[in-house]
Structure 1
Amino acid sequence: MSTQTAVISHSLFSDEDANLWKAGKLFRAYDKLGSHVIELDGEQGTYFAVWGPSAKSVSVIGNFNGWDHGAHPLNARWDSSGIFEGFIPRVKSGTIYKYSIETQSGDLLDKGDPFARLWETPPLTASIVWDTYYEWDDADWMKVRSKHNGIDSPYSVYEVHLGSWKKPKGTESLSYRELAVDLVDYMKEMNFTHVEFLPVMEHPYFPSWGYQITGYFAPSSRFGGPQDFMYLIQELHKAGIGVILDWVPSHFPTDAHGLAQFDGTHLYDHEDPKLGFHPDWKSAIFNYGRNEVRSFLISNALFWLDRYHIDALRVDAVASMLYLDYSRKEGEWIPNKFGGNKNLEAISFLREFNEAVYREYPDTMTIAEESTAFEGVSRPTYVGGLGFGMKWMMGWMHDTLGFFKNDPIHRSHHHNSLTFSLVYAFTENFMLPLSHDEVVHGKGPIIDRMPGDDWQRFANMRTLYGYMYTHPGSQLLFMGNEFGQTTEWSIDKGLNWTLSETAPHKGLKKYVADLNKAYRETPALYAQAYDPQGFEWIDGGDNQNSVLTYLRKGKKGNELAIVINNLTPTVRHHYRVGVPKAGTYKLLINSDAKEYGGTGAQEFKPVKAVESEWNGRPFHLEITVPPLATVVFVYAGK
């Protein structure tokens, strides 16, 4: 038996906290559960609290008591909350520990703390006593971030996997502190408004990209500690860059030290595999109908917004949560109480999650990765929606990449692949994603889906991005897409940064940086991105020439952008484009500029509108449209 002081009966839980936990309404549970260094009766130590309602007993084991299962048993609360708790003197920050849980059958399970703020670096699996105190230096950002996160603000996202963005020493990843220099500088150079991190929460299996989480309240210790990750976020904020985290409430892995069979029962998931097992990822599905699980998950979402100043949460795999028959055949799923395939408990949970986020942090954003036609994903809950701020536009991504795969000679027959998205573009607040999912599992890099010789491939890539950035909605590019990574993404090898400094990749990177800048500085491209008033076809039907022209409009009458996409390598001479106003139009961006790797044949001077009807408008511009190019003009006044 250890000579350590015995557990002292103590509680951070009030009766109200316990009742809220049981009711699924304790949304700051991280203040109560887990390990907390406190002072009790003049002595420092750590208070532990864990939920295990079916456990016979729960003890704390660790490097402070020789991992002795009988040394420090916690006390079961007198109520029906299922909480075991207690104070252990002289246990300090940095102590390594687990919970030893005795099940009803007498088995002993060694489990990590679901609320741990720090974990050992995998493959080690213990939790570490830690706090999240930090003296933040991002007050300027926090005061005005509503202007950066608003639905009428520019939103241009760079998606990053922290462990493979840059590997200067072969297989070794940059630390949070190193990223706070290199990544921040790169974000400023490339003019993105936000960075989105694939899940940073602790995960045992690196090749899961972070989507198989065991430590929901801890950033991965592979790259540093909690305060190091806070420093990275702070430096991004000081550079004027918002931070989005991928959040994964859709499933969790069944590793022995994690949430699965936590107290010997299906505590966090459903016992029936038709409800509790995910066939795609071979993982467990949260029981969204269990109140304590809702308290756990919503507390986790708020934790990152609270303690880490995160600006937005992108919720992974929402479609898998919404449908009981997702990836299941007939007979492999259980209908809801009405006999349908919708997961009513998950839908209720998602609505409550969004309400909690926007109530507590109204200047943040929630974004759904949702791949079906489920109605109202980004509509308020009070009108029956799920309450997200944005939704990924997966249909746009599939149709657009499918179109660009075609040889330009055949594109006239596939013109509707690009125009179709505007049929439903304003049914949700859409984000246009070219994400990590498009460069894995044998799909290859985006550049390999562009037809033609090298010049045409890169011209196609620039036109794809020009079309993307001028389409209604916001946009997201996965790392490497901005300079034309030539191999499929590998978390072991990382990106080939040598390419980014050689032609034609360097030109593409310069184009994306300038495209981001132009987008951020042009209200016509973002101020009404989710409003049909912000878009108007000029000519969406010129499939014979494979030219797509449209008007983007800001909130002010003079905020106009004229977009011309030439989707073939044929130069269009004397091409007329109808415009609504008399006056001068000046070039905003030309993807065919020589500095980007284009022909540079056209040097566009300000163009004066001709008073002659075209495309049903009283004026028109007449220009020569470069090959495989996006050209954007903005109204410059009379």
Structure 2
Amino acid sequence: MQTNEYLELETEDAIKRFHSGENFYSQHVFGYHQEDQDGETGFVFRVWAPNAQQIWLVGTFNDWDESLPMEKNEVYGYWEVFTGKPSENDLYKYKVRQADGRVVYKIDPFAIAFEKRPDNAAVIHHVPEKKWKDGLWYGRKKRSNFFQRPINIYEVHASSWKHHEDGTPYSFADLKEELIPYVKKMGYTHIEFMPLMEHPLGASWGYQLIGYFALSSYYGKPEEFQDFVEACHKENIGVFVDWVPGHCCINDDALPKYDGTPQFEYENPDRAANIRWGSVNFDLGKPEVQSFLISSALFWLEMYHIDGIRVDAVSSMLYLDYDDGPWEPNHEGGNRNYEGYYFLQKLNAVVKLAHPEVIMIAEESSSDTQITGLIESGALGFDYKWNMGWMNDVLDFYKMDPAFRKDHFNLITFSFMYMMQENYILPLSHDEVVHGKRSLMHKMWGDRYKQFSQLRNLYTYMIAHPGKKLLFMGSEWGQFLEWKYDEGLEWRDLDDPMNNSMQHFTTSLNALYKEQPALWELEESYDTISIIDADNRNDSVLSFIRKSKKKKDFLIIILNMTPVERQDFPIGVPYQGSYKEIWNTEMQEFGGTWKEHNPDQLTEEVPFKEYPYRIKTVVPALGALILQPDKIKIPRKRPSAK
């Protein structure tokens, strides 16, 4: 059999699997590929557009004319053309005569590179095969259980972290030299990027995509991002990327009505229209769309060695009534979007089968569907869910005048009631510092000193609360201005002693988090926490214990939510002995006024709440303390009678 015949058989099999929803590497058959045909080396271009009347390949190599008509495979509805003309950096599009005869220039859905926006032609670019040097990182990942390891995420918008003096954003070559050392210095375990895929409008922050296989040219070349991830892994930093499979950019030259009919989107116009975000919803029940999207997810995991994906807007894929427009109940009369539900289960099953060590994260705001856990139990199969309820409650509380906090104390204690229902990430993300919501620093009540005090209190509460952590860039030093997607962060803030001290505080807190197994080792179980006092509304002081696998290694967390210093404040403890203060948010080095820690505290044989002993300490106004057992007596278990 000739080589061309083998290629034809492989292509036919791949396209059959694409149509059945089981081709998870569909970029290997669609898009452009260099091939030899009849002794000639050239490119094969393929695109799926079953209802188009005619398609031409047009580009800089043929002056954008109709000299390269594509031929349709009537059985499988794809078009292809073989040509020897294109070369590196040539631009191209597909000129599509749609089902109704309208002629539109369309992007290549499988392109791996585009020209810089606002233009959007695909670019012929061959990424050299990389010899990765991150084997040690992968080995450690496979040997460890990420549920029982610290995860502290620094969320980044790649083009607004820092700008050059001329106002141009950093590329990944630049970020490799500056962002990685910064994240290492700050002590974060992972970087999470807002979407890096090609998008035509910067104001969408990357959440309205056109190129599901393309790194945005705004950020540099694909090989630069590969090098960035490799460099992160060498410094023991993981990399997550946001990804948007629910909806896509509405632009006429992108995916919507690609062949003139609802090809990627739902046929029902009410279901296809995403009114809230001005985009188009994918038909997640269509097998070809499943192949397309899951191929995109695996492409990013394997092409760039990223360590996890955060799936955006999961609720919009789960509920028919999530959007603002009209909707129809499902066949059972409910609001469940079964196509989205089963697609997300399929996505997680495929990813976990191929890459069990990858972390799958859902940004999801409801409580009607089990998001994390085994698919066999009815869950979607994600590893983590953003805890949006915790985030909303906590920020509402910290914005409040302390005089009223005693009446709303449940805002910071309610999460203890449901904290084990899912595997959670506690997010203080980009969504909370834009559109007039104010920065985290600016949300805090009071004058500037009190704002910094409360920000330190809030971050200590987040680190001490069960769940993995996420903080948006700039929040680590208390940037006062809201985030602006088209400008760099306010790095000049760090010339201010208060901002500089805040940054040092966050660095120290991140180090404490990694050093203390009690803050992450047992997070899958209620054994990780014991509440000391969550009912002290009048004083508005919350206290609880975080525990590790070793009985003697635990931490006592005390949070004062008022601007009143609490003298001789009683705290219940489980064991007799002495307790040492290892964390005080009001130390001078952090921007507070305290020069020395509280002295070690000896227990009194006085019961407190459910605890047989108590200690007394001074709790700073708007401050947070963490105490550690120093010399304690743990009773031995008596042997059972035989």
Alignment of 1:543-558 (within 5 A): 543-558=537-552
Aligned counterparts of 1:628 and 1:145: Cα–Cα separation in 2: 39
Alpha carbons of 1:103 and 1:534: their partners in 2 closer, same or farther (altered >3 Å)?
A: same
Determine the structure 1 residue equivalent to 2:105.
110
Alpha carbons of 1:606 and 1:139: their partners in 2 closer, same or farther (altered >3 Å)?
A: farther
Alpha carbons of 1:152 and 1:203: their partners in 2 closer, same or farther (altered >3 Å)?
A: same
Alpha carbons of 1:562 and 1:530: their partners in 2 closer, same or farther (altered >3 Å)?
A: same
Give per-residue Cα distances to partners, 1:539-581, cap 9 Å, x unaligned.
1111111110001112222231110111112111122211223
Equivalent AA in structure 2 for residue 444 of structure 1: R
User: SS in structure 1 opposite 2:17?
Assistant: helix
Determine the structure 2 residue equivalent to 1:362.
356
**Residue 332 (structure 2) pairs with residue 338 (structure 1):** yes
How large is the Cα RMSD of the aligned pairs?
Answer: 1.9
**Residue 471 (structure 2) pairs with residue 477 (structure 1):** yes
Determine the structure 2 residue equivalent to 1:36.
33
**Residue 304 (structure 2) pairs with residue 298 (structure 1):** no
Give per-residue Cα distances to partners, 1:390-434, cap 9 Å, x unaligned.
111111111111111112222111111111111111111111111
Q: Is the 8 A contact 1:9 1:86 kept in 2?
A: no
Within the candidate set 239, 242, 266, 2:262 is matched to 266
Determine the structure 2 residue equivalent to 1:16.
13
State the 1:521 CA deviation: 1.3
Equivalent AA in structure 2 for residue 301 of structure 1: A
Within the candidate set 572, 584, 587, 2:581 is matched to 587
Q: Is the 8 A contact 1:450 1:461 kept in 2?
A: yes
Give per-residue Cα distances to partners, 1:38-74, cap 9 Å, x unaligned.
44455432222211111223221111112122x2223
Within the candidate set 117, 126, 140, 2:121 is matched to 126
Determine the structure 1 residue equivalent to 2:612.
618
Determine the structure 1 residue equivalent to 2:220.
224
Alpha carbons of 1:622 and 1:324: their partners in 2 closer, same or farther (altered >3 Å)?
A: same
Determine the structure 2 residue equivalent to 1:405.
399
Give per-residue Cα distances to partners, 1:68-124, cap 9 Å, x unaligned.
22x22233235x322222432253332211112222333322111111110111111
Aligned counterparts of 1:31 and 1:453: Cα–Cα separation in 2: 58
State the 1:616 CA deviation: 1.8
Determine the structure 1 residue equivalent to 2:434.
440
Q: Is the 8 A contact 1:8 1:86 kept in 2?
A: no
Within the candidate set 495, 509, 520, 1:501 is matched to 495
State the 1:270 CA deviation: 1.4
Aligned counterparts of 1:585 and 1:29: Cα–Cα separation in 2: 60
Q: Is the 8 A contact 1:11 1:86 kept in 2?
A: no
Determine the structure 1 residue equivalent to 2:369.
375
State the 1:586 CA deviation: 3.1
Q: Is the 8 A contact 2:153 2:191 kept in 1?
A: yes
Q: Is the 8 A contact 1:466 1:630 kept in 2?
A: yes
Q: Is the 8 A contact 2:541 2:558 kept in 1?
A: yes
Alpha carbons of 1:9 and 1:595: their partners in 2 closer, same or farther (altered >3 Å)?
A: same
Identity %: 39
Determine the structure 2 residue equivalent to 1:561.
555
Aligned counterparts of 1:148 and 1:113: Cα–Cα separation in 2: 40
Equivalent AA in structure 2 for residue 354 of structure 1: N
Determine the structure 1 residue equivalent to 2:635.
none
**Residue 134 (structure 2) pairs with residue 152 (structure 1):** no
State the 1:281 CA deviation: 1.0
State the 1:608 CA deviation: 4.2
Alignment of 1:382-421 (within 5 A): 382-421=376-415
Determine the structure 2 residue equivalent to 1:491.
485
Give per-residue Cα distances to partners, 1:454-486, cap 9 Å, x unaligned.
111110110011111101111111111111111
Aligned counterparts of 1:59 and 1:9: Cα–Cα separation in 2: 26
Equivalent AA in structure 1 for residue 404 of structure 2: H
User: SS in structure 1 opposite 2:57?
Assistant: strand
Aligned counterparts of 2:595 and 2:406: Cα–Cα separation in 1: 25
Equivalent AA in structure 2 for residue 383 of structure 1: S
User: SS in structure 1 opposite 2:416?
Assistant: helix
Aligned counterparts of 2:527 and 2:319: Cα–Cα separation in 1: 33
State the 1:142 CA deviation: 1.8
Q: Is the 8 A contact 1:585 1:636 kept in 2?
A: yes
Q: Is the 8 A contact 1:36 1:130 kept in 2?
A: no
Q: Is the 8 A contact 1:10 1:86 kept in 2?
A: no
Q: Is the 8 A contact 1:160 1:479 kept in 2?
A: yes
Determine the structure 1 residue equivalent to 2:195.
199
Alpha carbons of 1:12 and 1:310: their partners in 2 closer, same or farther (altered >3 Å)?
A: farther
Q: Is the 8 A contact 1:43 1:90 kept in 2?
A: no
Determine the structure 1 residue equivalent to 2:623.
629
Q: Is the 8 A contact 1:602 1:626 kept in 2?
A: no
Equivalent AA in structure 2 for residue 411 of structure 1: R
Aligned counterparts of 1:264 and 1:631: Cα–Cα separation in 2: 63
Aligned counterparts of 2:6 and 2:467: Cα–Cα separation in 1: 55
Give per-residue Cα distances to partners, 1:493-546, cap 9 Å, x unaligned.
221101123221111111111111111111100112232111110111111111
**Residue 48 (structure 2) pairs with residue 51 (structure 1):** yes
User: SS in structure 1 opposite 2:302?
Assistant: helix
Determine the structure 1 residue equivalent to 2:422.
428
**Residue 170 (structure 2) pairs with residue 164 (structure 1):** no
Determine the structure 2 residue equivalent to 1:215.
211
Alpha carbons of 1:148 and 1:604: their partners in 2 closer, same or farther (altered >3 Å)?
A: farther
Equivalent AA in structure 2 for residue 20 of structure 1: R
Determine the structure 2 residue equivalent to 1:89.
84
User: SS in structure 2 opposite 1:504?
Assistant: helix
Determine the structure 2 residue equivalent to 1:178.
174
When normalised by structure 1's length, the TM-score is: 0.95
Determine the structure 2 residue equivalent to 1:26.
23
Equivalent AA in structure 2 for residue 220 of structure 1: S
Aligned counterparts of 1:498 and 1:530: Cα–Cα separation in 2: 41
Aligned counterparts of 1:92 and 1:11: Cα–Cα separation in 2: 24
User: SS in structure 1 opposite 2:497?
Assistant: coil
Alpha carbons of 1:110 and 1:541: their partners in 2 closer, same or farther (altered >3 Å)?
A: same
Q: Is the 8 A contact 2:585 2:624 kept in 1?
A: yes
Determine the structure 2 residue equivalent to 1:99.
94
State the 1:372 CA deviation: 1.0
Aligned counterparts of 1:74 and 1:566: Cα–Cα separation in 2: 70
User: SS in structure 1 opposite 2:491?
Assistant: coil
Determine the structure 2 residue equivalent to 1:535.
529
Equivalent AA in structure 1 for residue 429 of structure 2: S
Aligned counterparts of 2:631 and 2:49: Cα–Cα separation in 1: 68
Q: Please list every run of 5 or more consecutive structure 1 residues that lacks an aligned counterpart in the other structure.
A: 1-6
When normalised by structure 2's length, the TM-score is: 0.94
Aligned counterparts of 1:631 and 1:171: Cα–Cα separation in 2: 42
Alpha carbons of 1:45 and 1:611: their partners in 2 closer, same or farther (altered >3 Å)?
A: farther
Equivalent AA in structure 1 for residue 394 of structure 2: T
State the 1:605 CA deviation: 4.4
Give per-residue Cα distances to partners, 1:283-328, cap 9 Å, x unaligned.
1000011110010011111111111111111111111111111133
Aligned counterparts of 1:243 and 1:36: Cα–Cα separation in 2: 29
Alpha carbons of 1:408 and 1:13: their partners in 2 closer, same or farther (altered >3 Å)?
A: same
Aligned counterparts of 1:8 and 1:445: Cα–Cα separation in 2: 61
Determine the structure 2 residue equivalent to 1:188.
184
User: SS in structure 1 opposite 2:62?
Assistant: coil
User: Larger deviation: 208-217 or 446-455?
Assistant: 446-455
User: Larger deviation: 141-150 or 216-225?
Assistant: 141-150
User: SS in structure 1 opposite 2:624?
Assistant: strand
Give per-residue Cα distances to partners, 1:225-259, cap 9 Å, x unaligned.
11011111111111111111010011111212210
State the 1:636 CA deviation: 4.1
Q: Is the 8 A contact 1:44 1:90 kept in 2?
A: no
Q: Is the 8 A contact 1:118 1:219 kept in 2?
A: yes
Aligned counterparts of 2:628 and 2:299: Cα–Cα separation in 1: 43
Q: Is the 8 A contact 2:11 2:29 kept in 1?
A: no
Aligned counterparts of 2:142 and 2:474: Cα–Cα separation in 1: 29
Give per-residue Cα distances to partners, 1:164-190, cap 9 Å, x unaligned.
111132531011100001100110111
Determine the structure 2 residue equivalent to 1:3.
none
